[in-house]
Structure 1
Amino acid sequence: MNAATGTMEYTNKRERMLITPEGLAVPVTIASRGSRLGALVLDFVILFIALFVFQLVLMFVLGGLFEEAMNTANENISGAGEFLFIVLILVGFLARYGYFLSMELGPRGATYGKRIVGIRVAARNGGRLTPEAVIARNLLRDIELFMPLVFLMMAPSGEAGNFGIAGMIWFLIFMLFPFFNKDALRAGDIIAGTWVLEAPRTKLADALSTQGAAAKGSSEITGVRYEFGEAELSIYGEHELQTLERMLRDAQPEALAAVHETICRKIGWDPGAGDERAFLEAFYAQLRAKLEGDMRFGKRKANKFS
């Protein structure tokens, strides 16, 4: 924070501050353009390999019928061959869209390619990633990538004519789009209200060393002992735990008061003002203990939406 101007200064140009619907300010880092491209290439490699293996299995099981279905120029193709050809088209379509939609709607908000490079899709408003947003950003990929590529592949044969040139211009505009804005957003991100953030593999951070309620079990100010039940602790996951830890380490009174109010509202508590830090330390300690206990039994709650 710059004391003279009152503005936040970042050492990394890709750092941003995300405001959640609860009013929490969470620092995030925009994924680099290179990592996004790498993730896309990895995803298409994964899809290609999966479809190739699927075709090999069909060839082994169906033999000549598969070859007949692939030879669409054959006027004497049988009804079974036509049906199989339609199935292959549907499988390709569902694989392309189903892969991205199902993976990005999952708790991690990332495909296998994104997970490998350590990035994820998130809503820019700090809320949950909705199906509408994921569908919109992936449907736009056809306009951004696949349609201009079709024109470009037709250009060398001379069949496309001016369409080949138009396709190249189209392709360049959309491929360079992330370089025209500071958040590296592609057109699909702008339409869907999403962005892609760094999501490095992390484990729960080292436990926060506290002196108050978390260490002694009760408040030094009021003597109240804060104990939370399973339902109350289940509202948050690892991401919120780490955010709360950063808040306690920074010890900004205004931020702690805002977080205290948000948590109390969500769990239905009204402990009053003046003992915010003790309340938050107790909540932090008990939430951490719950999450670590769940992890021992193979249950992991990445965030409040999991």
Structure 2
Amino acid sequence: MSASDADNTADIGVDDFIRRFERGMQAVTAAEDTLTARRRYEALCKSFAPPDPDSLSVVDSELDGVRVRRLRPSGINDGTATDARGNECILYIHGGGWSLGSAKSHHGIAADLAVRLQREVISVDYRLAPEADYSQAIDDCHAVAELARPVALIGDSAGARLGLDLARRLDWQPPLGLVYPPVGTPSLETLGADAPLLTREDVLASWRQVARSVSKLCEARAPAPQIVALAVERDPLTRPFEAAIADWRASGAEIDYFCAAGMVHGALHAHARLPAMRDAWAAFCQALKVRLG
């Protein structure tokens, strides 16, 4: 392991993470064009990810015309674009506020999922705003899901919202893994207090980009019969998420819920380096693994 790799695996404090992520996001927002902003965001997120294990195979390809990254642990049978269902794969949908993020920026999360669950993970590079609207983003995820027939859907942040809306479209009902999603229709009244890295206005600004093309669905009905949920303590999205979980449980869903104490939105990128996030993420993944059998 090189010195730089070692630096990328040492534990850090949440305040250090916040400072580094804030500094990186300042560079993202100062970018002169969208492409530069997205590349800077990818570099920022990747800077917290540990190196891949040698046992992980990574292939960028397409499924039904949608760009994907396929991450496969050793021992998992190789698959082609038409037989992914034989691999019992996981579909992962990245976050980024619907305008940022990619399979590259969230590679560390998807790679860790593949290793922990010992299944192929297909990470979807769905189209982003403002070039595409929400309906096109979810269409991309739906197209990949129909071809791959994943045994679970997992998403974080904006990707978790896509995942729960996608789950309501499917004619089969795989377990759903949700990490700090925006649920319902975000508003100043429903959101929790502002927090480092994510304020209520940040949430509303992202929502305004996609709100017109978000399907109107029954929010009280659980998006899947089995859900594994992960939130962080310091996040305006946690209060409405916990309220939704209560409603979904009342409607009959089986839900495992974990909350990372002291953590903030975006901390999943540094799950390998933030002890509280690491523990909550491990519990989330273990609950998913149990539900997958």
TM-score by length of 1: 0.20
Structure with greater proportional strand content: 2
TM-score by length of 2: 0.21
Larger radius of gyration: 1
Structure with greater proportional helix content: 1
